[in-house]
Chain A
């Protein structure tokens, strides 16, 4: 599935749908969701104060392990320390958080942007251990960004919300009145249509 291979926004009046599509696409790009969404369809019915959205996600990204983004040497038993050379800087803040939590700030030195020196009693053992450390879970941040997108994308004041989320889909319905069961049903049907597309 390509990124954003289907991107439809529907509303009673075509010009309004086009204007709303620009809002949704601005929100998607603000939250850097372009690569994660495969197909998306939004239906806005202002007369009923109703907003329905269904999203098919692209295959989810795997967990990020420390060894995926850095090179770790086996360390020196004499100096009681080992070195981590960061290859992919994107996850550096999360990486530092995890290392600080494990060793304490005093034992993690960063003499240079991409080099971390860790003091440890058994550098050989520890270096093997940290390689398996999980640094980030793109799926989790993806979910929270999707929720943020749904809230930002909804017309203002539609405070009654329904959502359903799983591995590769997201359904969202919002209104300012109590939600009708057929609205939710309708949103799930939109999702089924999107999933049925080849």
Chain B
């Protein structure tokens, strides 16, 4: 298994190797943030808007906090929360999607139309609305984004699973008397894993961008926690002075998004079975 995995990795094109390296670095940074960051994410270390120097490699922000430390902690906050939210969205979306594809009939109609309704509302506006109603805590944000994004996952999981459910091995399992849990976990999920994994990567990017966008608007991760989206907002005024600082968290966001997309492209390509 492990050897197979390595063999597959060796066939990866340069773009996806780049993507995987980027993701690996982000994960490492998020894990070891306290060790890597020279200062605390909340500590005011010097004057505001200091240019990069030997002491503060990326300068300081609008309150005089160390930019580098906040970027490092931001990986933990933004990426960590986005990852957790995506997992939540997938748990809900995939379970319901596969479940309705097996049940069909009324279950499918009711859940399907409900999802249609939720999807009809522009996602960011809907999230903003719900956050204003329920209050801007991190837990609320995670739940709301997970709920709204799970509708997209539901759609995909249901469609993929529909193709599998009509196969004869599913009929054989049903006639055997297998319960729905076994149908989902042992018969359908393994066959739906490739497209779902690819969607996980893409969905992660959307969630991550949504969190950054919400934070930029002041409704996401709240200060003083470091977050890339709000860091862009806090330092945005510097752009007018030709300063580089607000672009750093923006680049961190862009780099991860591109990296994940490279990897996902390759996975989609592999699961589609195309040779070249």
Are A and B co-members of a single complex?
A: no
B residues at A contact (CB < 8 Å) = none
A residues at B contact (CB < 8 Å) = none
